Copies of this chain bind each other. A is one copy, B any other.
């Protein structure tokens, strides 16, 4: 059976979401996955969207489901996400899949956090006995990633906007993940020489001449002089997250065919 990814988008979603959904379709087709985009009319409410998710849960042809954000005003994103069957939740947004990280059970992991982990693993570092610092403690990346790093038996330090003496902590990091959403927050003097740096930030900034560009949470030019390994922005975690989503879709397809999930 060919893995099939079903994406739900609501008519009122912004253009960025729509572009993302279209790119997703192209990438699925390039990999030989089926892709079905469900467009729900603008003005749809909770019942319309929830009903569609339940229908896709029931459909045995569907391996993976993702719901594009933003949802219309007044629709609670969490209530929709928790309806996605954990076996088909390729974005890893259902609380059961987040909890499974703690248990270390094979399951679908939140895909941005998974992308960051895959990048760290690609360096062949053994996380045991290493210090991993996560700057930013958001629900989508910071918290799940901290737990994934605990699972890998790293010593994990989670920082947030209230952290006192953050540079004193980030300089301890053998692995430093920036997921704060603050342009170029991490400077060279906050980094231990040779550290692995993963930049999850995607920030649009405007230069003095009025032009806009995309930068990460890491001051790439100066930090790349100090780091042992560094992911760029744009590029880096962004495309890797798309790959993690598709990898989850294939996993889900394989697993939905086995009884023991």
Contact = CB atoms under 8 A, between A and B. Distances in A.
Which of A129, A144, A156 has the most C-beta atoms of chain B within 10 angstroms of its own C-beta?
Answer: A156
Interface in A78-128: 78, 82, 94-105, 107, 128
A96 B151 CA distance: 18
Interface in A139-157: 139, 142-144, 146-147, 150-151, 153, 155-157
B99 A129 contact: no
A150 B137 contact: yes
A82 B97 CA distance: 12
Contacts of A95: 95-100, 102-103, 105, 107
Given A95-B96, A95-B105, A153 B146 contact: no
A225 interface: no
A162 B128 contact: yes
A163 interface: yes
Contacts of A210: none
Contacts of A147: 102, 143, 146-147
Copies of this protein in the assembly total: 2
Nearest to A95: B99
A112 B97 CA distance: 21
28 contacts: A78-B103, A78-B105, A95-B98, A95-B100, A95-B102, A95-B105, A96-B96, A96-B99, A98-B98, A98-B99, A98-B103, A102-B143, A102-B144, A104-B139, A128-B162, A129-B162, A131-B164, A137-B156, A143-B147, A146-B156, A155-B162, A155-B163, A155-B169, A156-B157, A156-B158, A157-B157, A157-B158, A158-B158
A159 B78 CA distance: 31
Closest A-B pairs by Cβ, 8 of them? A95-B99, A98-B99, A99-B99, A129-B162, A96-B96, A155-B163, A156-B158, A95-B100
Contacts of A150: 137, 142-143, 146, 158, 160
Contacts of A105: 78, 95
Contacts of A104: 139
Nearest to A164: B129
Given A94-B96, A146-B158, 7 more contacts: A95-B95, A95-B99, A128-B162, A129-B163, A155-B158, A155-B159, A155-B169
A140 B11 CA distance: 43
A129 B99 CA distance: 26
